[in-house]
Amino acid sequence: MSCHTAVAEPELAQQSPEPSGVRQLRTVALIGPPNSGKSTLFNRLTGMRQKVANYPGVTVDYHSGKMKSIGRSDLTLIDLPGIYSLATYSEDARVAVEVLTGRMRGVPRPDCVLLVLDATHINRQLMLAAPVFSIGLPTLVLLNMSDELDKRGGQIDTLALAKELGHPVALISAARNKGLEVIAEFLARESAAPDTGSRPVQLPILQSPAITRGWATQVTSRTNYITPATARWTQRLDGVLLHRAAGPLIFLAVVFLVFQVVFTLGQPLSNGLGNLLTALGAHAAGLLPDGWLRLLLRDGIWNGMQSVLVFLPQILLLFLFIGILEDSGYLARAALIADRLMRAIGLNGKAFIPLLSAYACAVPAIMATRTIENKRERIATILVAPFMTCSARLPIYTLMIAAFIPNRLFLGGIVGLRALVMLGLYVLGFLAALITAKLLNSRVLKASPAPFILELPQYRWPTVRSLALRLYDRGMLFTKKVGTIILSVSLLVWVLSVLPVHRMDGAFRLSELTSSVVGHLGHWIEPVIRPLGFNWKIGIGLLGSIMAREVIVGTLGTLYGVDPATHSLALQTALQHDMTLAGALALVVFYAFAMQCMSTLAVVKRETNSWKYPVLQFCYMTGVAYLAALTTYQVLSRLL
Amino acid sequence: MSSTSIAITALSVAKVGSAGVVEQIDLPEEVSNYLAHLGFLPGTSVEVLRRAPAGDPTVYRIDGVEVGLRNETARHIYLRLTSPPKTHAAPTNGSAPKNGAHR
């Protein structure tokens, strides 16, 4: 079994002997190759107190946080991108080098480095150690996943490795929270270490990978390293999950299961939250005097915000599943299964990851396309990404489906009609992305293929901690959106729905809905949307949601709340009275295709550095959405 | 190598279950550098694990890590076959632990 020595202290040769006061430790950098468990460790060390920020000038995100979990709130931990080497041909590596050498604007130069390596692949992982050491900062080498190493019969002599490397080495397991106390010890010792003045920081000497690899192999051979056996479970699972016939079927089943649970579990939770919020609103309104203020707060703000906020359970469930699929290692297998399809439409396999993340939100997906070196492929990916069904479409989809699609079950209750319709909408968006990519490829852009190289991590149980952290992030983001965009648009819609104020019998009176500004605007645009089966209230919702897709639900909540005819009804019931099934389906089809998101347009403008692409994208997507909704309504209203 | 076989073949045509040693990589520097950091370097042993459901990409085990490559890339990596399907010889370094985990 491997020895869990704490910090094996090597004979440090490079520290200068002249003491000049005690070093002031402030910033610690965390670096490691992809799949080394770096983010798990980062979450362990910082907990909830982390921030996501952008490096100035580049789109590589970085997390930083106070190391509160190990009692060092005075220290800031900076998480560097996961990279294999410091050779600066990738933007990620360039960022890492600039931060480590203190040349990144707005980021303080780290005082020491935590280097995380996967203990089960020491040979390969050590290739990053050489260039990191050559930067000359005090470095603690953390061999992560010690539990895996143990379990699979691997072994390493950390003391011998520390001597070879000239830096302290420790075995840890970030996932199991084992051995992490060495980090605090290392930091305490570095804080107490005599200040040697600012060390010379030099660029790493980059040798050819073959030389670095030779060095790594030589080092490992002197540390009694026993390569762990291959993970049996990964082999067995891959035998099934990547099986010629079963693999793709399981992939589809997994996707379907996600939607099924989002409905069967999410709907009652959402209803419960809705009832709670309604009761809360009614109670609060009861405390206010009758008058315009009460109307403003209840009808204007609360109704709008509440109708969007109730979708929080579904959003969290969706992200819980995405988190499980990603953390367990299944997502990489999905990319492998889908690669053939991606290539058929002329997209790089690397486009799969950004496109997959577009299921959450198109904005980070578009930023993630920076990893695609070929400019044309990158632009193609940017242009198709917003067709993927992002989580902002979830509220309107769930609302319309719950209101109009009966809860019918097939196949002994396993397959629900509602989940099927939802899956259909996701497929619709995906097909639109495929066809658009194909069109772009043959017409607009001529792409040359870049290689598809995908590391398949071994399967691991996702940790509750990292899942909880994701959900917290997502939940905050969603709530923030409700508190800002949704609140302001709902407020605006309400104000416009009671204006103009006119004098009647000597008193000021608010307008009736139909004679208000909104009413006039709605009736003015109605001829355009009537052929799609939408009434004027939906039209107002469509206008408002050019800001963001969820806004339509808030706007409808406000409008139906203001209308005396539907005032007392729940939004679902109000819609059932006001729309046909054909119109409802046309509406969700419209949302599957339409580009209703200011943030996405802004990020496309920034990333392509031109107005051409966002304008093209907006016109194209809105055009497709209009025609598709028109067809849906015209066909279905004749059939149904 | 003591192996009697001197058959050199492209990685893309090696059968599932066969193993060999990387002999040469003919790819642009940027690609070969990336592959090198995943372990694809002359002298490293590699095993063909399985093909994706559509027949491409293929998953290889190099250095204890599984990497998926399209045939169009694997075509430019040459290996000297050391073992036919199933029996896999010693890894690059260290003693092989009790094996038997292959597929």
Do A368 and A487 fall into the same domain? no
Distance (Å) from the alpha carbon of B57 to chain A's nearest alpha carbon: 7
Do A82 and A157 fall into the same domain? yes
Judged by CB atoms closer than 8 Å, whether chains meet at A336 and B69 is answered as no
Judged by CB atoms closer than 8 Å, whether chains meet at B69 and A343 is answered as no
| Domain extent for B74 | 8-83
Cβ-nearest to B37 among A85, A226, A243: A85
Judged by CB atoms closer than 8 Å, whether chains meet at B66 and A244 is answered as no
Q: Does the residue B70 lie in any domain?
A: yes
Q: Which residues of A touch B36 (CB under 8 A)?
A: 209-210, 213
Q: Which residues of A touch B92 (CB under 8 A)?
A: 123, 217
Distance (Å) from the alpha carbon of A154 to chain B's nearest alpha carbon: 8
Mean pLDDT, chain B, integer? 77
**Domains identified in chain B, total number:** 1
Top mean-pLDDT range of A16-20, A147-151, A204-208, A372-376: A147-151
Q: What is the pLDDT of residues A607-621, one digit of tens each?
A: 788 889 999 999 999
Q: Which residues of B touch A225 (CB under 8 A)?
A: 93-94
**Domains identified in chain A, total number:** 3
More confident residue, B47 or A338: B47
Mean pLDDT, chain A, integer? 80
Q: Which of A461, A480, A506 is the last residue of a domain?
A: A461
Lowest mean pLDDT among A10-24, A137-151, A559-573: A10-24
Q: Does the residue B100 lie in any domain?
A: no
**In the prediction, which pLDDT does A511 show?**
67
Do A108 and A182 fall into the same domain? yes
Which residue from A minimizes the CA distance to B101? A232
Q: What is the pLDDT of residues A110-148, one digit of tens each?
A: 999 999 999 988 888 888 898 888 888 899 999 998 888
Q: Does the residue B103 lie in any domain?
A: no
Q: Does the residue B67 lie in any domain?
A: yes
Angle (CA) A429 A433 A434, round 5°: 120
Distance (Å) from the alpha carbon of B87 to chain A's nearest alpha carbon: 15
Q: Is B34 an 8 Å CB contact of chain A?
A: yes
**In the prediction, which pLDDT does A593 show?**
93
Q: Does the residue B97 lie in any domain?
A: no
**In the prediction, which pLDDT does A342 show?**
76
Of A632, A539, A603, A610, nearest to A386 by C-alpha is A603
Q: Does the residue B21 lie in any domain?
A: yes
**In the prediction, which pLDDT does A569 show?**
77
Of A536, A514, A512, nearest to A524 by C-alpha is A536
Judged by CB atoms closer than 8 Å, whether chains meet at B97 and A152 is answered as yes
pLDDT over threshold 60, residue A53: no
Contact present, B49 and B57 (Cβ < 8 Å): no
Lowest mean pLDDT among A60-64, A213-217, A453-457, B18-22: A60-64
Cβ-nearest to A453 among B34, B51, B99: B34
Query: In this structure, what are the phi and psi dihedrals at residue A495, rounded to the nearest 5 degrees?
Result: -60, -45
pLDDT over threshold 70, residue B99: no
Do A348 and A436 fall into the same domain? yes
Judged by CB atoms closer than 8 Å, whether chains meet at A456 and B68 is answered as yes
**In the prediction, which pLDDT does A370 show?**
67
Q: Does the residue A280 lie in any domain?
A: no
Distance CA A529, CA A551 (A): 18
Q: Which residues of B touch A228 (CB under 8 A)?
A: 64, 97
Distance (Å) from the alpha carbon of B64 to chain A's nearest alpha carbon: 7
Do A56 and A110 fall into the same domain? yes
Tokens of residue A541, six digits: 């919702």
Q: Which residues of B touch A458 (CB under 8 A)?
A: 66
Best B49, B93, B103 residue to mutate vs chain A (most A CBs within 10 Å): B93
Distance (Å) from the alpha carbon of A339 to chain B's nearest alpha carbon: 7
Q: Which residues of A touch B99 (CB under 8 A)?
A: 229
Judged by CB atoms closer than 8 Å, whether chains meet at B53 and A87 is answered as no
Distance (Å) from the alpha carbon of A124 to chain B's nearest alpha carbon: 6
Q: What is the pLDDT of residues A273-326, one digit of tens each?
A: 888 988 888 888 888 887 777 777 877 778 777 777 887 887 788 888 878 888
Q: What is the pLDDT of residues B28-39, one digit of tens each?
A: 887 888 888 888
Virtual torsion, Cα A369, A372, A378, A383, nearest 10 deg: -30
SS3 readout for A556-587:
HHHHHHHCCCCCCCCHHHHHHHHCCHHHHHHH
Do A176 and A159 fall into the same domain? yes
Which residue from A minimizes the CA distance to B76? A451
Q: What is the pLDDT of residues A163-174, one digit of tens each?
A: 888 899 999 998
pLDDT over threshold 70, residue A22: no
Do A218 and A168 fall into the same domain? yes
**In the prediction, which pLDDT does B47 show?**
92
Lowest mean pLDDT among A28-37, A86-95, A177-186, A556-565: A86-95
- Long-range contacts from A43-50, C-beta under 8 angstroms, 24+ separation: A43/A465, A43/A466, A43/A469, A44/A69, A44/A174, A44/A177, A44/A180, A44/A465, A45/A69, A45/A70, A45/A77, A45/A180, A45/A183, A46/A77, A48/A469, A48/A472
| Domain extent for A178 | 27-229
Q: Which residues of A touch B70 (CB under 8 A)?
A: 339, 343, 349, 451-452
Distance CA A524, CA B99 (A): 75
Best A35, A122, A213 residue to mutate vs chain B (most B CBs within 10 Å): A213
More confident residue, A136 or B59: B59
Q: Does the residue A284 lie in any domain?
A: no
Judged by CB atoms closer than 8 Å, whether chains meet at A85 and B72 is answered as no
**In the prediction, which pLDDT does A633 show?**
93
Q: Which residues of B touch A210 (CB under 8 A)?
A: 36, 41-42
Distance CA A351, CA A298 (A): 45
Judged by CB atoms closer than 8 Å, whether chains meet at A227 and B57 is answered as no
Do A155 and A40 fall into the same domain? yes
Do A350 and A394 fall into the same domain? yes
| Percent of chain A whose predicted confidence (pLDDT) is above 70 | 85
Distance CA A329, CA A333 (A): 7
What average pLDDT does the segment B10-20 reach?
A: 90
**In the prediction, which pLDDT does A29 show?**
93
pLDDT over threshold 50, residue B95: no
Q: Does the residue B95 lie in any domain?
A: no
pLDDT over threshold 60, residue A13: no
Q: Is B41 an 8 Å CB contact of chain A?
A: yes
Do A521 and A553 fall into the same domain? yes
Distance CA A297, CA A305 (A): 11
Do A340 and A296 fall into the same domain? no
Is cis: bond before B85, omega within 30 of 0? Answer: no
Distance CA A590, CA A588 (A): 5
Q: Which residues of A touch B98 (CB under 8 A)?
A: 153, 229
**In the prediction, which pLDDT does A590 show?**
94
Distance CA A114, CA A599 (A): 36
Distance (Å) from the alpha carbon of A40 to chain B's nearest alpha carbon: 20
Tokens of residue A638, six digits: 């004749």
More confident residue, A569 or A240: A240
Contact present, A158 and A182 (Cβ < 8 Å): no
Which residue from A minimizes the CA distance to B102? A235
pLDDT over threshold 50, residue A5: no
Predicted TM-score (pTM) of this structure = 0.74
Q: What is the CATH number of the domain that holds B53?
A: 2.30.30.90
More confident residue, A371 or B64: B64
Do A305 and A182 fall into the same domain? no
| Percent of chain A whose predicted confidence (pLDDT) is above 90 | 12
Q: Does the residue A17 lie in any domain?
A: no
Q: Does the residue A517 lie in any domain?
A: yes
Q: Does the residue B102 lie in any domain?
A: no
Distance (Å) from the alpha carbon of B23 to chain A's nearest alpha carbon: 13
**In the prediction, which pLDDT does A15 show?**
40
Q: How confident is the model at residue B89 (pLDDT cuts 50, 70, 90)?
A: very low
